[in-house]
Structure 1
Amino acid sequence: MKSTSRNFQIFVQSPDLRIPTRALIFQKPNPNLTLHHLKSSLFPATSIPHSSLFFTLNGKPLSDSTPLLQNSQIAPLSTLTLHLRFLGGGGDGGATGAESRDCYLNMYAVKKPDKVDPNEMRLSKWLNCTLSNEPLRHPIVIDKLGNLFNKEALVEGLLKKNLPKEFGYIKGLKDMITVELAEIPRAKEIGEVKFQCPITGLEFNGKYKFFAIKSCGHVLSAKGFKEVKSSTCLICHKEFVESDKIVINGTEEEVTELWEKLKEEKLKVKDNGKKTKKLKNGDVNGEGVGRLTGTKHGIEGNGINGNAKGSTKKFKAADIAPANATKAVYASIFTSSRKSDFKETYSCRSLPLGRN
């Protein structure tokens, strides 16, 4: 219980209203004085509505009916903080009326993935390995559709047999083409790996079209081929034809054209394999002359075609009997040496009844 016979001093501050700390001294305090009377003395009703103001002490809100003197919480020299109450809800847990069912459902909706920068996708396609997505580093290879790979990553995928299905046409080293990409010197100085056309200086970043030459592996821009028209490589001067040029990371139409060429090459290899297999047992010095003998094929023993009508000599086992062998005995191995009444077959001879 505070004494009302002496002066009573407190401090009031209000950061919300930008009012600096003020000292209030009550020389003859009224024991019935409340915080409501304090607000009325500080702010007339015409300036700020009293309902929008409230006091706190040490962070705890106080009601307007709280007595100023007969209160154990408010001691002399206490600091009261005056706050501005924001009506309409939101911060106090109430509803503003602005929410809708869609807003509520969106709170629990699955977040959409962040949009990928198309420039980053383009650079990744030209500067990273298609298989491992790691930065390109020599040795670098391309397949016959113009995709870029780190050779180490591609060979590892072949050995482990875990290449994705879309690269199923890559069976071995014969399906890879080692390429030479010219690095940009100024990028290498700052620790970056970037490539360019060694003729025009155009950067290898997807903004310009580039071709790789199968015969030598050098990579040049389309502008370089256009400006210096030549049937030899502009770097190593090796001869090449137009079909040796493979577009790198080409358009859908260009990739389709390369795919058709790849299928044609596979068909040619398959057909050549079949022809070689057919001639394997009958080829003589690569001339395709068969080694068949006998009257059935109309060919004499020396491998030269004879006249099938009458000039062909009939095969006799006795004619090829080994040295020091009786021809009749040798011939009896294959057929009967004399006429007989009993029947013979290829594998055995049947004897007449009574002889066994």
Structure 2
Amino acid sequence: MENDRRLLRRHVTIQSPELGIPTKSISINPNSTTTLLNLKLSLLPSFPSQTLINSLYFTSNGKPLDDSSTLEKNNDLILRIKAYGGGGDGGATGAESRDCYLNMYAVKKPDKVDPNETRLSKWTTCALSYEPLRSPCVIDRLGNVFNKDSLVEGLLGKKLPKEFGKHIKGLKDMFEIQLEKIPGGGDDEECRFQCPISGLEFNGKYKFFALRSCGHVLSAKALKEVKNSSSCIVCGKEFNEELDKIVINGSAEEVAVLREKMEAEKSSNNKLKVKEKKKKVVEGGALLNGVGTKRGKEDDAAVVAGENVVNNGAVKRCKSAAVPPPNATKEVYASIFTSSRKSDFKETYSCRSLPLGRN
């Protein structure tokens, strides 16, 4: 009878790789009403917390089991830990693959740039080298400010960016300016500047103009106070209102106006150069006379002085002609060319032979 009861008992295998509990095999009475909760408590240490009890559950054949179910129909059980959602648990990332997930953090997001710092650096540093402005400084026709040494070095090395290289070809395309330092505004390596009349700081908050005629840099407020003035407030040198006033670090519209003025000025300068060249050619006389020799002003004056005939107080210009030198006859000119007359001498490429009668 006792052997029959042993045969009716079932063996249940319990394992928990996540908790490190070794595999156990227990025998269950077929009439037993032991639940999975009771089995869980028997595997845990004494007096477990309710949180620990709720965080564990059994599975059989991959299916989760309720703690209230019995062991009648279950043979192999695995004790697992519940993984709660809410992020940070290795669950869904919203990425299609691991590569996408890694790329979200691989690309560094650009830092936010303070617009005030950007504006200030544009007015206190060289537009080419980004070094602090220091004397001597120059400005181009579009209102960009440079350290003269940096710009000259860029021109010599042909390293100017396209934005500057299109309109800066040499020293004629830059104009030296005089920036007024603020007393106690920093050392020579990193100093601050101001308007010499109004005292406004050269930091981008106010509009400034550079005068090409003298190089002084003045604020728009200072120039506005002196109305209908065509001379510099500082030195008194006259300037052209349309051509000599260059707005510094102007807006896109102001730069477009400066560019139009620059193109118009260059085209007018090119026309003047062409006219001057033509004038020099006419004044220099570069004309051909009757025998095909060039004649200049002095040659024309000599011909007029030597050949002009005074008739009743009027001067008559004679036609220009070549005056042959003395003792220059046709035979002399003809002797220059061997084919000009017949000769009794035999000539070779290296010597002239004796007459035929002496051979």
Instruction: Note whether the superposition's TM-score is higher than 0.5.
Output: yes
Once the two structures are superposed, the pairs formed by residues 23-62 of structure 1 within 5 Å of their partners are 36-39=45-48, 48-51=50-53
Residues 262-303 of structure 1, C-alpha deviations (whole Å, 9 max, x = no match): 22332233333333433445425xxxx67665599xx99429
Once the two structures are superposed, the pairs formed by residues 262-301 of structure 1 within 5 Å of their partners are 262-283=262-283, 293-294=289-290, 301=303
Is the 8 Å Cα contact of residues 138 and 147 (structure 2) preserved in structure 1?
A: yes
What are structure 1's unaligned runs of at least 5 residues? 1-32, 55-84, 337-346
Once the two structures are superposed, the pairs formed by residues 59-98 of structure 1 within 5 Å of their partners are 88=84, 95=91
Residues 31-58 of structure 1, C-alpha deviations (whole Å, 9 max, x = no match): xx9964334xxx7xxxx5452589xxxx
The answer to whether structure 1 residue 150 and structure 2 residue 147 are counterparts is yes
Partner of 1:222: 220
Is the 8 Å Cα contact of residues 131 and 153 (structure 1) preserved in structure 2?
A: yes
Once the two structures are superposed, the pairs formed by residues 263-342 of structure 1 within 5 Å of their partners are 263-283=263-283, 293-294=289-290, 301-302=303-304, 313=318, 317=322, 320-322=323-325, 325-326=326-327, 329-330=328-329
Partner of 1:236: 235
CA distance in 2, matches of 1:92, 1:282: 90
Partner of 1:130: 127
The answer to whether structure 1 residue 174 and structure 2 residue 172 are counterparts is yes
Compare the two structures and name the one with the higher helix fraction: 2
> What TM-score, normalized by structure 1, do the two folds share?
0.59
Residues 43-80 of structure 1, C-alpha deviations (whole Å, 9 max, x = no match): 7xxxx5452589xxxxxxxxxxxxxxxxxxxxxxxxxx
**Percent of aligned positions with the same letter in both sequences?**
49
**What's the offset of the Cα at 1:314?**
5.3
CA distance in 1, matches of 2:188, 2:171: 34
Residues 159-184 of structure 1, C-alpha deviations (whole Å, 9 max, x = no match): 21211222222222222111111222
CA distance in 2, matches of 1:294, 1:227: 69
The answer to whether structure 1 residue 206 and structure 2 residue 207 are counterparts is no
Residues 107-153 of structure 1, C-alpha deviations (whole Å, 9 max, x = no match): 41333322322222212211111101111111111111110101111
Q: Sort the Cα spacing of 1:106 and 1:115 in 2 relative to 1 into closer, same or farther, 3 A.
A: farther
What are structure 2's unaligned runs of at least 5 residues? 1-41, 57-80, 293-299, 309-315, 347-359
The answer to whether structure 1 residue 159 and structure 2 residue 156 are counterparts is yes
Partner of 1:115: 112
CA distance in 2, matches of 1:192, 1:314: 74
Q: Over the residues paired in the alignment, what is the CA RMSD in angstroms?
A: 4.3
The residue type equivalent to 2:234 in the other structure is: I
CA distance in 1, matches of 2:258, 2:193: 24
Q: Sort the Cα spacing of 1:330 and 1:250 in 2 relative to 1 into closer, same or farther, 3 A.
A: farther
The residue type equivalent to 1:321 in the other structure is: P
**Paired residues, what number?**
263
Q: Sort the Cα spacing of 1:290 and 1:249 in 2 relative to 1 into closer, same or farther, 3 A.
A: same
Partner secondary structure for residue 236 of structure 1:
coil
The residue type equivalent to 1:237 in the other structure is: G
Q: Sort the Cα spacing of 1:334 and 1:122 in 2 relative to 1 into closer, same or farther, 3 A.
A: farther
Match of 1:101 among 86, 95, 104: 95
Q: Sort the Cα spacing of 1:49 and 1:274 in 2 relative to 1 into closer, same or farther, 3 A.
A: closer
CA distance in 2, matches of 1:91, 1:275: 80
Residues 225-258 of structure 1, C-alpha deviations (whole Å, 9 max, x = no match): 0012332211122222212111111122221222
Is the 8 Å Cα contact of residues 295 and 315 (structure 1) preserved in structure 2?
A: no
